[in-house]
């Protein structure tokens, strides 16, 4: 692996790096136009975990917790 710790890698993480790494992994993603146009991030956020056993990052889309606690 790299000499950087997972914490240091998290600090260096950017949307561009994440997207390029994902695209290098999956090669191609087809996104319908309406899905792209309707995508909003007000209620979603990217969750990133580090799996030290496999030495990889796990990216997930999750719903944000609302301020009302619902």
- Mean of pLDDT over the chain: 82
**Per-residue pLDDT for 27 more than 90?**
yes
**Per-residue pLDDT for 20 more than 80?**
yes
Q: Is 70 among the domain residues?
A: no
Q: Is 69 among the domain residues?
A: no
> Average pLDDT in the 35-60 region?
84
What's the number of domains the chain is made of?
A: 1
Question: Which pLDDT value is given to residue 68?
Answer: 53
Q: Read off the pTM.
A: 0.63
> Average pLDDT in the 41-46 region?
80
Of the candidates 66, 48, 69, 45, the residue with the CA atom closest to the CA atom of residue 57: 48
Provide the residue range defining the domain that includes 48. 6-63
Q: Is 59 among the domain residues?
A: yes
Q: Is 36 among the domain residues?
A: yes
């Amino acid at each position: 692996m790299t000499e950087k710790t997972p914490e240091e890698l998290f600090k260096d993480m950017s949307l561009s790096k994440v997207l390029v790494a994902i695209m290098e992994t999956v090669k191609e993603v087809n996104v319908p136009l309406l899905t792209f146009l309707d995508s909003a991030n007000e209620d979603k956020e990217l969750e990133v975990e580090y799996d030290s056993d496999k030495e990889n990052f796990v990216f997930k889309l999750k719903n944000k917790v609302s301020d009302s606690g619902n």
